[in-house]
Amino acid sequence: MTAAEGPPDSAGGILDLIMAFYGSRAVISAVELDLFTTLSGTSMTGTELSGRAGLHPRGAADFLDALVSLGLLERTGDRYANTPDAERHLVAGKPGYVGGYARMAGGMLFPVWGKLTEALRTGRAQVPSDRGIFDGYRDDDATRGFLGAMDAVNGGVGAALAAVFDWSRYSSVVDLGGARGNLAATLVREHPHLDATCFDLPPVERFFDEHTAELGLAGRIRFAAGDFFADPLPVADVFVAGHILHYFDLSGRRTLLARVHESVKPGGAVLVYDRMIDAGRRGRPLSLLGSLNMLLTSPGGAEYTPDEARKWLTEAGFGTVEVARVGSLDTLVIGYKD
Q: Which residues are catalytic?
A: 246
CB count in 10 Å sphere of residue 189: 16
Contact by Cβ (8 Å): 312, 253: yes
Q: Environment class of residue 70 by beta-carbon count within 10 Å: exposed (0-12), middle (13-18) or buried (19+)? A: middle
Alpha helices, H only, 215-318? 250-263, 285-297, 306-316
Would you give the end-to-end CA distance of the chain in angstroms?
A: 67
- DSSP letter string, 153-176: HHHHHHHHHHHHS-GGG-SEEEEE
**How far is the C-alpha of 29 from the C-alpha of 255, rounded, in Å?**
40
Q: What is the 8-class DSSP label of residue 8?
A: T
What count of other Cβ atoms lies within 10 Å of the Cβ of residue 112?
19
